[in-house]
Amino acid sequence: MKLKIDNDILIEEFFESTHLLGIVAPIKNYQFIWNINQFLGFHFQVNHNLEIVLVKKSRSYFFSIYEYQIPGSSLTHYLYNNQHDGEYLLPEFKHLDFLWLTKGDDVGKAEIMALQQSIKGISAVQLVTEMTNEKIKHKQHLLF
């Protein structure tokens, strides 16, 4: 008997109680993280165990994930770099530089809107948009 992994179920479970924001900020990832940590009071750090590797045309592309766990809660914020060496984690959103995922505690609409406004306050940020699961074709690329 063969066991088959049902990617649709994995994706559905992964995205339960999550929110995803797309961010346009044409700066290096370390500069973006520094700005977020300095001005918004987060403490994002790179998590090498979560790094996503995509293989295309027999070449590997590495996408860093930064993580910040809110103390005393099950809410964790993740920041993905959407681009590496001309390849995209979500190719359907090539205009986005970063993806911000909240996962864990359910976050209300008002909190997400406040987070969007805070991110927009950083000078290098040109756009912050909430992304709906239906628009994301390559959801499996975000799984870690």
Q: What is the pLDDT of residues 8-44, one digit of tens each?
A: 666 676 667 788 899 999 999 999 999 999 999 999 9
Select from 122, 136, 114, 112 the least CA-distant residue to 25: 122
Q: Please report whether residue 39 resides in a domain.
A: yes
Q: Please report whether residue 121 resides in a domain.
A: yes
Q: Please report whether residue 2 resides in a domain.
A: no
| Local structure of residue 104 (DSSP, 8 states) | S
Q: Please report whether residue 137 resides in a domain.
A: yes
**Rg (Cα) of the chain, in Å, rounded?**
15
Confidence of residue 6 (pLDDT cuts 50, 70, 90): low
In the block, tokens 């049902």 appear at: 6
Q: Considering Cα of 84, then 99, then 24, then 47, what sign does the dihedral take?
A: negative
Q: Please report whether residue 63 resides in a domain.
A: yes
Ranges 17-21, 62-66, 120-124: which has the least confidence: 17-21
Select from 41, 42, 92, 38 the least CA-distant residue to 67: 42
Q: Please report whether residue 116 resides in a domain.
A: yes
Domain count for the chain? 1
The parent domain of residue 86 ranges over: 34-91+100-142
Q: Please report whether residue 49 resides in a domain.
A: yes
Q: What is the mean pLDDT of the chain?
A: 87
